């Protein structure tokens, strides 16, 4: 391993762990002003959550919470504070991860195998017995393409803390992103992984020892969220490079996320401000990144969830393709069989106030003038202070900037382009019907040349957008014909999705799965190149009556 990465703080994590946990506990306890209210809020949420509990541990827990709720009013303030400290301590210890360099070394060789053994602990021993089945990182080199100015990031990583904020569309993301960091000789990052990803013992082992900290998404109360945020802030202050997904959850519709969750993002500004207040300034940089898949492992479940009549987005989906060994294996084979099937693009680094940052880590305003980021957290008397409302607004603005960078750094793949072309066909067929009219069309056959022509036109439009730095176009669709783009997409779809998305028919190509086409085309909606199902309905073309049967 290159010497620079050995210095990365994460390699000292295990020694520092008690210190980090204790700082977190003190931080939360010291900054909780209304202890009664916080404990009451926790008791309320937890008693609701555990109300229908069956497991003995949960039933006991429920009893404890009920008892606390009854006693709270009569407890003295020191007693409440003590109880708060106990609770916070329990959470902080549960959250705090681990980092084992030996496991890290092993995992970088095992990442491809990890993919196929996501579920079955029994598979890994077999792979270990037959090491020729283990791929080296080199085998992934052409399949997983990494783009962006990584030299710049490596330089910044030496003396500052990086916070990677990638887009999120799949449970594969943390694995392929970890690979991208490794490939780029960037240091590993700590990250909050949902507790549901720890249920698999093998995956849990790896997650724990790769610096993941555990996030229990079932816990919605203030104290727990404060613990998570405090832990994240403490890590960043102490120089641990971090990773989280501002989208919060995998995109259900396939669209690149534009409304971001700001809770963890805010810890970046807080951490930076605290280092200033302690006179130990440590710069913090956000690194937006896009993870672009030719195919998404869980596309069918995700779009199904998005469209489902039941409507309510399930925040945690535990029973999708990533929990089925067969699907994961097929997917990995497909992924590993096609060049450029995953493109990870690192965007330009930003300071916590959304300013661009140069090679030396200096912030610049939009006119290119150098600016001291510390000035943003000074009050009118010139003193650095922690102003929650001010920092929350900065975070909102940073979120907007990151959302813009996501659009800019999207890499359009053949599947997105062909899906957009197909959807255009379907909409023409329905005469501008609404989304559900379009999704109901079954087995529409489109002449191959028409589709190829549309795909080429969309690709050319994207190349124009690329010139004004508003998107990127994948290497393997840049210079080829429309027919080639269609062929590439068909090859991708054919190898994986259960329904043949695009199929040969007597007089053209049959569009068999409008839902998946919708998923893949949604990636290009923010760029104005694919149909926006949420936009106000356009006036239907004249004479559209015949083809609009079934419109509400």
Partner 1 sequence: MHVGILGGGPWGMALAKAARRARSTTMLCSRRHQDGSLKGIKITAELAELATTRLIIVAVPSDKARALARELGKYLDGSHVLVHGIRGLSGDELSTISDVIREETPVRRIGALGGPVQADELAEGRASAIVVGSAFGDVTSAVTKALSGRWLQVHTTRDLRGLEWASALVGCLSIGLGYVQARQDVSPGLLAALISRGVDEAASIAVAAGAKRETLYGLGGYGDLLASMALPDRPEVILGRELAAGKTLQQARDSAHLRIEAIELVPRIARFAHQAGITPAIFDGLTSILTGQADPEETVRALFSA
Which residue ranges make up the site for partner 1 (CB under 8 A)? 353, 355, 365-367, 369, 371-380, 382, 387, 389-390, 393-394, 396-397, 536
Helix (H) or strand (E) holding 15: helix 13-31
Compute the least distance from the CB of residue 389 to partner 1, in Å: 4
Compute the least distance from the CB of residue 377 to partner 1, in Å: 8
Given strand 370-371, what is the order of strands in its sheet?
356-357, 363-364, 370-371
Compute the least distance from the CB of residue 75 to partner 1, in Å: 34
Of 387 and 532, the one with the shorter C-beta distance to partner 1 is 387
3-state secondary structure of 544: coil
Residue 378 DSSP one-character state:
B
Compute the least distance from the CB of residue 397 to partner 1, in Å: 7
Of 536 and 543, the one with the shorter C-beta distance to partner 1 is 536
Question: CA–CA distance from 279 to each of 231, 266, 374, 474 (Å)?
Answer: 21, 20, 11, 45
Say if residue 124 is exposed, middle or buried (CB neighbours under 10 Å; 0-12, 13-18, 19+).
middle
Compute the least distance from the CB of residue 386 to partner 1, in Å: 12
Of 154 and 378, the one with the shorter C-beta distance to partner 1 is 378
Of 404 and 503, the one with the shorter C-beta distance to partner 1 is 404
Of 134 and 262, the one with the shorter C-beta distance to partner 1 is 262
Compute the least distance from the CB of residue 272 to partner 1, in Å: 12
3-state secondary structure of 12: helix
Compute the least distance from the CB of residue 535 to partner 1, in Å: 9
Exposure on the CB side of residue 451, measured as CA atoms within 13 A: 29
Q: What are phi and psi of 494, to 5 degrees?
A: -60, -40
Q: What are phi and psi of 147, to 5 degrees?
A: -125, 165
Of 331 and 353, the one with the shorter C-beta distance to partner 1 is 353
Per DSSP, what are the bridge partners of residue 191? 212, 243
SS3 content of the chain, % helix, strand, coil (to 5): 55, 10, 35
Compute the least distance from the CB of residue 393 to partner 1, in Å: 5
Question: CA–CA distance from 65 to each of 45, 182, 227 (Å)?
Answer: 10, 44, 18
Of 371 and 487, the one with the shorter C-beta distance to partner 1 is 371
């Amino acid at each position: 391993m290159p010497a620079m990465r050995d210095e990365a703080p994460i390699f000292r994590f295990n020694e520092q762990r008690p210190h980090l946990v204790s700082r977190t506990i003190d931080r939360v306890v010291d900054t909780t002003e209304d202890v009664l209210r916080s404990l009451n809020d926790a008791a309320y949420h937890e008693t609701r959550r555990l109300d229908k509990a069956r497991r003995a541990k949960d039933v006991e827990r429920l009893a404890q919470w009920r008892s606390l709720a009854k006693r709270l009013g009569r407890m003295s303030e020191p007693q409440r504070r003590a109880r708060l400290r106990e609770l916070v301590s329990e959470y902080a210890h549960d959250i705090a991860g681990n980092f084992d360099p030996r496991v890290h070394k092993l995992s970088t060789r095992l990442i491809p195998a990890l993919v196929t053994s996501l579920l079955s602990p029994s598979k890994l021993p077999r792979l270990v017995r037959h090491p020729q089945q283990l791929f080296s990182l080199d085998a992934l080199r052409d399949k997983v393409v990494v783009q962006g100015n990584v030299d710049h990031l490596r330089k910044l990583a030496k003396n500052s803390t990086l916070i990677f904020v990638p887009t999120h569309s799949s449970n594969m993301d943390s694995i392929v992103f970890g690979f991208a960091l490794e490939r780029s000789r960037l240091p590993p990052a700590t990250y909050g992984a949902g507790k549901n990803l720890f249920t698999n013992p093998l995956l849990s082992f790896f997650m724990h020892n790769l610096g993941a900290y555990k996030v229990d998404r079932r816990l919605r109360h203030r104290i727990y969220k404060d613990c998570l945020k405090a832990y994240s802030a403490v890590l960043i202050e102490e120089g641990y490079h971090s990773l989280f997904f501002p989208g919060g959850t995998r995109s259900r519709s396939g669209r690149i996320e534009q409304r971001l969750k700001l809770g963890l993002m805010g810890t970046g500004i807080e951490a930076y401000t605290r280092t200033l207040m302690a006179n130990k300034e440590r710069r913090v940089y956000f690194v937006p990144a896009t993870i672009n898949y030719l195919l998404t492992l869980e596309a069918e479940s995700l779009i199904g969830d998005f469209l489902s009549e039941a409507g309510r987005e399930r925040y945690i989906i535990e029973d999708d393709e990533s929990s089925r060994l067969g699907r994961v294996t097929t997917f990995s084979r497909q992924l590993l069989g096609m060049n450029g099937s995953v493109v990870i693009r690192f965007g330009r680094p930003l300071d916590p106030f959304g300013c661009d940052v140069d090679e030396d880590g200096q912030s610049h305003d939009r006119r290119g003038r150098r600016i001291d980021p510390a000035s943003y957290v000074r009050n009118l008397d010139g003193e650095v202070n922690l102003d929650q409302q001010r920092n929350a607004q900065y975070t909102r603005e940073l979120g907007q900037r990151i959302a813009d960078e996501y659009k800019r750094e999207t890499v359009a793949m053949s599947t997105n382009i062909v899906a957009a072309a197909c959807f255009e066909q379907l909409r023409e067929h329905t005469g501008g019907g609404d989304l559900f009219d379009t999704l109901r069309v079954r087995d529409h056959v489109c002449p191959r040349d028409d589709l190829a022509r549309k795909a080429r036109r969309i690709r050319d439009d994207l190349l124009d957008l690329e010139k004004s730095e508003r998107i990127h176009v994948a290497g393997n669709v840049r210079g080829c014909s429309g027919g080639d783009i269609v062929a590439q997409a068909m090859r991708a779809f054919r190898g994986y999705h259960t329904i043949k998305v695009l199929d040969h028919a007597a007089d053209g190509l049959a569009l068999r799965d409008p839902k998946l086409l919708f998923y893949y085309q949604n990636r290009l909606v923010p760029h104005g190149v694919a149909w926006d199902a949420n936009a106000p309905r356009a006036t239907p073309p004249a004479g559209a009556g015949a083809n609009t049967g079934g419109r509400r």
